[in-house]
Amino acid sequence: MNKNANKLVAALAALVVAAGCSVPSSGSPVAATEAQAAASEHQAAQNNASSSASLDEPKRMQQASKRLTSASGELELTVPDNWSNDPVLERTAMLNASHRGEEQYVVVNRYPKSDFSDGTSLEAYKQTFLAATSASIEAFEEEGTERLDINGRSGILVTFSGTSDNVNVRYIAGLAETEHAFYQVVAWSTASKFSEHEAQFKAVIGSLKVQRETLTQHSGEAKRPHKQDETEPGVVMRSADGTLELTLPGSWEEMPLNDEADLQGGVLATEDYFIAMHEPKAMFADDMNLAQYTSLVLENMATALENGAVGEPAAVEVNGMPALQTELSGEVESVKIRYLVTTVEAEQSYVQVLFWTQHHLMADKLGDYRAAVETLNVNESQWPEGAR
């Protein structure tokens, strides 16, 4: 197998979040995140050049081909005969294929329109797709946009590049819509081989057929673990100053989501994210209490979100400390998000821990988020004297 094959499969991480799932917690009462800034910059510099492309499958697919069908029977894709289903890609895609020897990969996913703001257009979905992708791969660069016919459906073809695990990768994504969902077909290869594969990639993308829509199951959900495996060892994350500590499932890892956070991380493949931060009580009025602090946090978040809706705070205890826990929902860059917001009162500080995911995934993840919050340790003895 080519030495870059496994690294190219790892490049899928950038595509898993392409529906906007990694949208950072812009609703938290802190400065805008690096990912948001990057997304805004790339959107502002968007390549407006547009052309028209209609893919004629028989002409483009010169070699012998075969049709692959998704497990649900909903989707069909025509690929070269020497491509096959890839077990690694299968975990996060409704339909996939690869030819590892030639460094060619393709995944197909569907995202119900109910996950997005009402009236979200295909063009707006493209912007969400690119914003999420630009935040997920290094050296992201949008190269061009074309109009595309995908088996009679009007679509958009976007080409972009980036670096994944020190490998330069080029991608081509076909985006299309039906009445109820957005579909994306994304193909990629190493930058050095992409040009020789591009015509074939376009033929594969243009061959997508939506036989029927079964929206009771979201894209790739049945293959993504929502619950923590009880046998999976946890990973302990500690803040740089040693004040905060949280134990998470072993698949979680640190990632830059917010400049002001003391702890932050997530799992791209399962669309899980969190940040935690502490604020000294000395920053606030002497009569500030936990309920008032919670109101400030929730008000700031709801204001920053579109269509923000705040639930009723519930009193809980976190490692012996009084806390309030609240569910909050809203929209960030047209994507529907739900948060679990926990505010904790320690002896000398207030702590906020935010977990979030896509709206439709929260019901399955809420128990795991609450369990993770319960592992919070606050070690205020680590603070410099002047910060107490």
pLDDT digits (tens, 9 = 90+) for 149-177: 888 888 999 999 998 878 899 999 999 99
The predicted pLDDT at position 42 comes to 31
CB 355 within 8 A of CB 361: no
Helix or strand run (H / E) with residue 344: strand 335-345
Q: What is the pLDDT of residue 384?
A: 55
**One domain for residues 98 and 202:** yes
Domain check: are 98 and 216 in the same one? yes
Q: How many CB atoms lie within 10 A of CB 386?
A: 7
Distance, in Å, from the CA atom of 88 to the CA atom of 86, rounded to the nearest integer, reads 6
What would the mean pLDDT of 35-45 be, rounded to a whole number?
Answer: 33
Distances (CA, A) of 9 to 99, 137, 167, 193, 234: 11, 13, 11, 15, 25
Weakest mean pLDDT among 46-60, 290-304, 325-339: 46-60
Residue 382's domain is classified under what CATH number? 3.40.1000.10
0.85 surpassed by pTM: no
Q: Looking at the structure, do residues 160 and 188 belong to the same domain, yes or no?
A: yes
Q: Are residues 195 and 289 in the same domain?
A: no
| Residues 6+ away with beta carbon under 8 Å from 268 | 13, 16, 17, 21, 22, 136, 255
Chosen domain end from 201, 222, 243: 222
Which pLDDT tens digit goes with each residue over 341-374? 999 999 999 999 999 998 989 999 999 999 999 9
Task: Point out the domain boundary residue: 202, 222, 242.
Answer: 222
What is the sign, positive or negative, of the torsion defined by CA atoms of 78, 79, 85, 91? negative
- Segments forming the whole domain that contains residue 248: 225-387
The reply to whether 217 and 119 lie within a common domain is yes
- If asked whether residues 31 and 61 sit together in one domain, one would say yes
Pairing of β 50-54 and β 138-150: parallel
What letter does residue 268 receive in the DSSP assignment?
A: G
Do 231 and 212 belong to one domain? no
- Residue 27's CB is within 10 A of a number of other CB atoms, namely 26
8 A C-beta contact, residue 208 and residue 195: no
Q: How far apart are CA 353 and CA 239, in angstroms?
A: 13
Contact predicate 329/308, CB 8 Å: yes
276 and 193, same structural domain?
A: no
199: three-class secondary structure by DSSP: helix
Can you give the pLDDT at residue 121?
94
Two structure tokens written together for 384: 């410099």
Q: Which two tokens stand for residue 75?
A: 């989707």
pLDDT (tens digit per residue) in 192-238: 999 999 999 999 999 999 987 765 444 444 344 444 455 567 899 99
Looking at the structure of the chain, the number of domains it has is: 2
When pLDDT is averaged across residues 250-278 and rounded to a whole number, the result is 90
Q: Are 333 and 39 in contact (CB under 8 A)?
A: yes
Q: Are 355 and 339 in contact (CB under 8 A)?
A: yes
- Per-residue confidence (pLDDT) for residue 255, from 0 to 100: 87
Strand ranges (E), 48-198: 50-54, 65-69, 75-80, 95-99, 104-112, 138-150, 153-164, 167-177, 181-190
Q: Is 128 in the same domain as 244?
A: no
Residue 312 pLDDT exceeds 90: yes
| Residues 238 and 190 placed together within one structural domain of the fold | no
Q: Average pLDDT of 115-143?
A: 89
Secondary structure letter of residue 138 according to DSSP: E
Same domain, 67 and 206: yes
Chosen domain end from 222, 249, 274:
222
Same domain membership, residue 210 and residue 101: yes
